[in-house]
Amino acid sequence: MCISTDAIARRGFAALNAVVRPAVQSGIGNPFLIGAGIVVIETTGRVSGLARLVPVLSTRTGNTLTVSTVRSDSQWIRNAEADSNVAVWLGGRRREATATVSRGRLNTIRLDLVDRAS
């Protein structure tokens, strides 16, 4: 039986995310108001309709976060393209955001936090 490199990578990321995600959701490693850190982005699966949570590196300036990946086949990016209403876990809280995806060699996703007071 031959297991593809993609399958091994998917399993590896799934195992890593299962450990990292709860810590990051609780606020560990999150960026301050300005700076870099890890956040959990929550998208809605475009086929399943289920919440999909993925830890990603980000930079933050106020209410705007930027995340990126060189992997063009990342399902969370496709989910954000299909539905720009996403959420980001910061400081142990779920914050609604709007995603804007820019495709290129480096796929960049801008996340604008939604101000609840508005």
What's the whole-model pTM score? 0.85
With bands split at pLDDT 50, 70 and 90, how would you rate the model's confidence at 44? very high
- The one-letter amino acid code at 74 reads S
Residue 98 has a CB neighbour count (10 Å cut-off) of: 13
User: How far out from the chain centre does Cα 114 lie?
Assistant: 16
Span 2-19, pLDDT tens digits: 778 878 877 887 888 888
Q: Which domains does the chain have, with CATH numbers?
A: 5-113 (2.30.110.10)
Location of structure tokens 């590196």 = 57
